[in-house]
Structure 1
Amino acid sequence: MPDAIFAHHRLAPLYDAFDGPRDDLTPYLALADDLDARSIVDIGCGTGALAILLAESGRGVVAVDPASASLEVAKSKAGAHRITWLHGDATTLPPAAADLALMTGNVAQVFLTDEAWSQTLHSIHSALRPEGHLVFETRRPDRRAWEDWAAAAPITIDIPGIGRVEERLELIAVELPYVSFRHTYTFRSDGTAITSDSTLRFRPRGELESTLAAHGFTVRDVRQAPDRPEREFVFIAKRGN
């Protein structure tokens, strides 16, 4: 079940405004060039920022997300007609059709159980052509990102067509490898407050490498996110035959 921040009909339209400029996505265009990827699947595409950027560069893009409210926002954007949108998860993807599978943001960390992570990797392996690539980013546990979240001050933004909305972030629990937190959005127009609870799993690098190998992937490189040096791992893994 997707978190309310992505699935609630009043919260999904707020996501882009609070997320701000997506400078973190531009490097994936260059990476797609480096990997000669012409067909791409964007897993956990959310409101479609990356999928649209990739499609604008002339690539074939399939974008999948379990939150229908986020997909509706994505489909309303300019350029959305170039993309095949799927409501679901990695198991929804067509087999052996993609050169590259991407999971950006916190997508790789929402799979809380070993079973869910294993099923996702198995499905991605099936969706890639032989020697296709999986690229995903995930936060480094040793950087303790949740400490920054605990110190975050509320933010209020005036969003066109919606009005002023306050976002408040609260750390709920740290029980590693799990970290739980709550977003509360208060709409100044009518005083409505809507909460969205989330939990992420912080897997160490060694665990990720071993699970990738167990599902038929070879890790080619582990990089830093250019816009967040030393804060994240960016895995580049190749599918075996």
Structure 2
Amino acid sequence: MPDPLFTDPRLAAVYDAFDGPRDDLAAYLGIADELGAERVLDLGCGTGSLALLLAAGGRTVVGADPAAASLAVAQTKPGADRVRWLHGDATTLPDLAADLAVLTGNVAQVFLTDDDWARTLGGLRAALRPGGHLVFETRRPERRAWVDWAAADPVALDVPGTGRVEQRLQVTGVHLPLVTFRFTYRFLPDGAVLTSESTLRFRERAELTQDLLTHGFRVLDVRDAPDRPGKEYVFVTQRVD
């Protein structure tokens, strides 16, 4: 089940403001061009930032997410009518025959159990055409991202249509390969306080490579995320038939 950050309408409405300019997305547009992908699935599309950019380039795009509140935000954005929005996860996808499936941000790390990850890879493989590609990013465990999270200062922003909102991040548990953290949001106009707790799984490169092979993908390349060099792996894989 998605975290409140994505399912609570009030939190979903301020997500983009705190998520920043999304400098990471340009790399995915480049990969789509590199692979000649015309039909793209953005799994865990959230508020639709990447899906909309892909569609603006003339591609046929499906944005899928299990969080209805995030999809509702996505559907209010300019160009939203160019994207097919689906409420669900990889196990509920129709036959898409996609050239490319992408998982950005934290999406690949929200599957905490081996069974959940296996079902997700199976659903993604089925959504791709023969020879289609799966591209996703995941944080390198040895870089210990949670140390930086624990040291992060609170952030306060003036969010259009909402007013001033304060965000605080706390790391609440490190039990590798799982790391749990909590966002607390204070809405200053009315004093409301909302929290969202998340857990991510930090998988090693070798583990991911084996999982992909087991579930019908071959790894073509493992790259750096250009906006975060040395901190993440970007897996470029292909469906094997």
TM-score range, shorter chain: over 0.9
Instruction: Please show how residues 84-95 of structure 1 align to structure 2 within 5 Å.
Output: 84-95=84-95
Cα displacement string for residues 206-240 of structure 1 (whole angstroms, at most 9, x for unaligned residues): 00000000001000000000000000000000001
TM score, norm. by length of structure 2? 0.99
* Segments ≥4 residues shifted beyond 2 Å: none
The CA distance in 2 between the partners of 1:116 and 1:21, in whole Å, is 30
CA contact (8 A) 1:218 1:240 kept: yes
1:47 and 2:47 aligned: yes
* Deviation, structure 1 residue 92: 2.1
* Deviation, structure 1 residue 29: 1.0
CA contact (8 A) 1:96 1:130 kept: no
Is the partner of 1:10 in helix, strand or coil? helix
Instruction: Please show how residues 211-226 of structure 1 align to structure 2 within 5 Å.
Output: 211-226=211-226
Equivalent position of 1:122 in the other structure: 122
Instruction: Please show how residues 67-78 of structure 1 align to structure 2 within 5 Å.
Output: 67-78=67-78
Which amino acid in 2 is paired with 1:157?
Answer: L
The CA distance in 1 between the partners of 2:174 and 2:30, in whole Å, is 36
CA contact (8 A) 1:86 1:92 kept: no
Instruction: Please show how residues 60-209 of structure 1 align to structure 2 within 5 Å.
Output: 60-95=60-95, 97-209=97-209
Cα displacement string for residues 44-66 of structure 1 (whole angstroms, at most 9, x for unaligned residues): 00000000000000000011000
Cα displacement string for residues 8-34 of structure 1 (whole angstroms, at most 9, x for unaligned residues): 011001110001101110111111011
The CA distance in 2 between the partners of 1:170 and 1:140, in whole Å, is 20
* Deviation, structure 1 residue 81: 0.1
Equivalent position of 1:12 in the other structure: 12
The CA distance in 2 between the partners of 1:30 and 1:198, in whole Å, is 30
CA contact (8 A) 1:212 1:218 kept: yes
Aligned-residue sequence identity (percent) comes to: 63
Equivalent position of 1:56 in the other structure: 56
CA contact (8 A) 1:184 1:196 kept: yes
The CA distance in 1 between the partners of 2:160 and 2:134, in whole Å, is 37
The CA distance in 1 between the partners of 2:100 and 2:180, in whole Å, is 30
The CA distance in 2 between the partners of 1:120 and 1:156, in whole Å, is 35
CA contact (8 A) 1:97 1:129 kept: yes
* Deviation, structure 1 residue 97: 1.2
The CA distance in 1 between the partners of 2:189 and 2:138, in whole Å, is 36
Is the partner of 2:9 in helix, strand or coil? coil
Which amino acid in 2 is paired with 1:148?
Answer: D
Which amino acid in 1 is paired with 2:135?
Answer: V
Q: Structure 2: 5+ residue runs without aligned partners?
A: none
The CA distance in 2 between the partners of 1:140 and 1:14, in whole Å, is 28
Quickly say closer, same or farther: Cα 1:190–1:96, change in 2 above 3 A.
closer
Cα displacement string for residues 159-218 of structure 1 (whole angstroms, at most 9, x for unaligned residues): 111000000000000000000000000000111100000000000000000000000100
CA contact (8 A) 1:217 1:237 kept: yes
Number of positions where the alignment pairs a residue of Structure 1 with one of Structure 2: 241
Q: Structure 1: 5+ residue runs without aligned partners?
A: none
